[in-house]
Chains A and B, each alone.
Chain A
Amino acid sequence: MATKPKNAAAAEPQAPAAAKPAAKPRASKAAPAATDTPLVSPAAKAKASKAAKAPTTVIVAPETAVVGIAQTVADTYSSDTRIDYYPTHEHEGIKFRRGHVLPFGATSVTGGVNFSIYSASATDCTLVLFDRGAEQPYAEIQFPDEFRVGNVYSMIVFDLDFERLEYGFRMGGPYNPAAGHWFDKTKILSDPYAKVIGGRNAWMAPPDWDNVYPYRSRLAFADFDWENDHPLETPIEDLIVYEMHVRGFTQHPSSGLKNRGTFSALKAKIPYLKELGVNCVELLPIYEFDEWEGTKPNPVTGEPLVNYWGYSTVNFFSPKAGYAATGKYGMQVDELKTLIKELHKNGIEVLLDVVFNHTAEGDHRGHTISFRGVDNKTYYMLTPEGYYFNFSGTGNTLNCNHPVVRNMVLDCLRYWASEYHIDGFRFDLAAILGRAQDGSPLSNPPLLESLAYDPILAKCKLIAEAWDAGGLYQVGSFPNYDRWAEWNGKFRDDTRQFLKGDEAKVGPMKERIMGSPDLYSERGPTASINFITCHDGFTMYDMVAYNEKHNEANGEDNNDGGNDNDSWNCGWEGETDDEGINFLRHKQIKNALTMLLVSQGVPMLLMGDEVGRTQRGNNNTYCQDNDLNWLNWDNLKTNADLFNFAKEMTRFRRNHPVLRSPVHFQHRDYVGSGYPDISFHGTQAWHSDSDASSRAFAFMLCGDHAKQGIVKDSMVYVALNMYWDALDFEIPGLSHDRQWHVFANTALAAPDDIHANGTEVRLENQQNILVGPRSIVVLIGK
């Protein structure tokens, strides 16, 4: 992070950020004009046809005089101005008064803006005001000491241009790192509570490295028209999560979209998500981070390696401008809200991946952006010598269980839930959130408890990545308050090992299939977010095409990224023309998709796995802004069999509530159907072999027990054979007039591998079925 490349182009002012206050933003005019093929929405076109009727009489009013620049915002509100909002102070022509201590941040009030910021150890605080993009501030106002209440500085400043304002703070205080203090009044600091950050308005636009204030706090507006939208509150067991990267989803030219890599482009691809059958997207970090952080050249290609994933927060409350096509106009808030509203209209929930374990400020060598300069000792976990604890593996650790920081996290999540209608959150390296200020794990972490019982977050999904880089691994034991779900790392490990034919995996796999009652006996299967792949590690295709990671392109001599991949290349490392190997790979992907989607718990699919996306063996693509990460939409044609399989499998899950139980199985018949809710089988019906040498088992779900017997469903029988030879499975008999029908058989080539839901094929032989080598058969009894 300390070495940033100086780019010659950086000196060139970027529109519209560099427009001078006096001049009209002519530069910004060039931006819309530069777009080549104009896009008119079908809706707009449709509306165009219904032009209204002509009025007969027209009275033309006199031209309005141009209002002078001196016009103030306050005038606009003159009729509404309350008597208590009058200025009491003036500094260089700027009027201000004592402010409100809460809420923190900058808040529009009648005729002005209320600024409020906390610092326990600062000795003074100065508000710094810029016109948008200006090199130097136009005003600096030190908070009079009488404006400070406790450790909070607040003031209302009048007559500000809401649209063009950028603000920051200078904090006075001791510079003494050994004591934890890093105050430096030469630095202009971002507001930890800023709702919009200006300065990185278009992805990878070259920044001005000499900027006195690179990440500029701005105001956000609450005037978005949500109509009747609100979070969907889908029961968590009914979710199929799609973990995705906003940019990677549409940036590849094959997406065929304009404004690729943006919220707006994602919105254009909602029909694809619907067809795939997912009903929840989990977005990798979408709040403001700096893709330029830690940039270095790729040793192989010379192209820049960048902070692509974005697990490095600059500001927790602000959406990433570089992900918005309208970011150059500062409209990222509206564009993101428009996306969320549209996803909700299509029945798709939105989960955010939130990174409250560290910030972009790094360790003692890092930049000072905000927290370090505002109040280092409050915001970071420090060793007794004043160094940064590094439980996150990225330089610093946010001091989450400090009461002030805890409140910031809470305020932040409440803000996303209420202002952006977010349906839930996935907490990166959440084990850190359970550490005390000295780093030791807490048995009853106040932050996790506060989140679990928060009234505003009450209907939000809370999902923990239940480990950290400091060695704390809490899968199954994460402090949960009967509320938190977890990324089930054991599901990933066991399914991968079972898939490649490891010994002694039948026992663990039965637990995973059931929603991991061994891990979540108290919480139920809904605590288990089941996944086989995520952004971290191999894609599903690479998991069956590579034995080893191939991370050379990351520039660390292949030393980065995990080595515990549990992958098997099916006989050849990397791409091959061998048809047998390629068939086996596709079969293994279908096996994996099946295991994921017939297991109890909440399945999560990684973006692109449904079409065999490859990272060419790279299992740590955090820095690759190229086709290693971008979804190639041509795969939809080349791997059509995978997409079709995934699509039918998600529909199968949706059509069969027996796969989505909110509670654990009881292994007995409690509805009088004659069958237990779940039963295990092997090559012999009603007899399952969990010996170490066994690599095959089957299970049957009784449809009469679906959702605890509330709804009726078919019987579902799944035979999993990860042995290298075909095995003959005896199928349990059905009562009444039900017959077994084949839904899926991964041993067969498309189109016989899976049948469209509702067109399952009746099985000739109702007693036995031959399950091919490394294959899964799914039957339904109806």
Chain B
Amino acid sequence: MSLTITAEAKKIAKITLTGEVDSLTAREFQKEIERMAAEAPDELILVAKDLDFISSAGLRVLIFAKQKLGTHLNVYVVGAQPSVVETMVKTGLDNSFNIVDHYL
């Protein structure tokens, strides 16, 4: 997992998720989100193209991110594999996030 914070006119925060986000790694993920919240970014990018699996715990962190950072904040989930997208759609998370193939 890596964290990138971009300082520009628009503050963009970026987290890369790789491998599996299960209930153990979800805690790290959550810590990253909390760390990021302190920076008050304008946008959050979750790079998910190498994310193979996200458990319910990981999905809950996504919800947590939205709550922690504010519902006005745009969160992009970039390049997620179909199985991950599908789970997000079924559980209604697609309403709260921008699921995109690319973020240029």
Contact = CB atoms under 8 A, between A and B. Distances in A.
Interface string A22-66: 001100110011010011110110011011111111111101101
B84 interface: yes
Nearest to A225: B96
B12 to A, nearest CB: 5
Contacts of B82: 35, 38-40
A32 B84 contact: yes
B4 A325 contact: no
A25 B53 CA distance: 10
Interface residues of B, number: 58
Contacts of B31: 64, 67, 76
B104 A51 contact: yes
A567 interface: no
A163 B90 CA distance: 19
A335 B91 CA distance: 4
A71, A164, A334, A335 pick with most chain B CB within 10 angstroms: A334
Given A48-B99, A76-B30, A35 B86 contact: yes
Given A67-B31, A326-B90, A24 B100 contact: no
B60 interface: yes
A374 B40 CA distance: 50
B87 A331 contact: yes
Contacts of A138: none
B72 interface: no
B85 interface: yes
Interface in B31-83: 31-32, 34, 43, 52-53, 55-57, 59-60, 63-64, 66-67, 74, 76, 81-83
B92 A337 contact: yes
A329 B5 contact: no
A57 B20 contact: no
Contacts of A66: 28
Given A54-B104, A55-B8, A57-B8, A64 B28 contact: yes
Contacts of B23: 161, 163-164
B94 A32 contact: no
A330 B55 CA distance: 9
A43 B89 CA distance: 9
B66 to A, nearest CB: 7
Nearest to A69: B24
Given A25-B22, A325-B90, A225 B2 contact: no
B44 to A, nearest CB: 11
A44, A54, A60 pick with most chain B CB within 10 angstroms: A44
Contacts of B100: 47-48, 50-52
A334 B57 CA distance: 12
Given A163-B60, A225-B96, A51 B55 contact: no
Contacts of B91: 326, 331, 334-335, 338
A223 interface: yes
B85 A71 contact: no
A326 B101 CA distance: 23
B52 A39 contact: no
A64 B94 contact: no
A53 B64 CA distance: 25
B22 A24 contact: yes
17 contacts: A32-B87, A40-B85, A40-B86, A41-B89, A41-B94, A64-B3, A66-B28, A67-B28, A163-B56, A164-B23, A223-B60, A224-B63, A225-B63, A225-B96, A329-B56, A335-B91, A335-B92
